[in-house]
Amino acid sequence: MRKTLRNHEHGSTSSFEVTFDFRPRKGRKNRGPNPADIHGILETGNVPRVSRLMALAIRFDGLIRHGQIRGFADLARLGYVSRARITQIMNLLNLSPDIQENILFLPKTTKDRDPIREKNLRAIVAEPHWSRQRKMWANYGAE
C-alpha cells in the first residue's frame, strides 16, 4: 500500500510505502475457546428477575453510599419508577446475607415463570430477625 502525506503549511509532500502482513508469531496459538464450542459453555435461560433486582439493590446501595446519588427519590427519578418501587427493591437488602446470596445465584429460568418472585418475598423482608427469615425462606422453598 502506498501512502502520501501532505504538509499544507509548507506545501511539501512526502510519500512512503507500507506493507501489512499478518502472520501469527511462531508458537502462538489461539488461546480462546473455539466459537463452535461456545454454545456448550454458555448456560441457556434467563437470570431470574428477583436475582436482577437483588443485584440492582446492591448497586443502588453502593451509589448512595459513595455519594453519587443522594437518595431514593433521585433513584426513582432516574429510573422512571415510583419511590415506593425503589423502596421495595431496596428492602431486599434487609434479607440475611445468606438469603441474598441464594437469590443472586438462583439457577437460570429456562421455561415457565420464575419460581421466586419479589412480591412473594416481601413477608420475609419484613421480618427483622435473620433466624426467622431463614426459617421463612426454607418454608418458602419447600412450597
Asked whether residue 124 carries a pLDDT value surpassing 90, the answer given is yes
Asked whether residue 43 carries a pLDDT value surpassing 80, the answer given is no
Mapping DSSP to helix (H, G, I), strand (E, B) and coil, where does residue 134 land?
helix
Question: pTM for this one?
Answer: 0.69
> Does residue 9 belong to any structural domain of this protein?
no
Q: How many domains does the chain have?
A: 1
Is the pLDDT higher at 137 or at 111? Answer: 137
> Does residue 32 belong to any structural domain of this protein?
no
Residue with cell 446470596: 101
The kind and range of the H/E element at 113 are none
pLDDT for position 111:
84
Q: Residue 88's domain spans which residues?
A: 49-142
Q: Give the span between the Cα atoms of 4 and 14, in whole angstroms.
A: 6
Q: How far is CA 115 from CA 49, 62, 103, in A?
A: 10, 28, 11
Is the pLDDT higher at 9 or at 48? Answer: 48
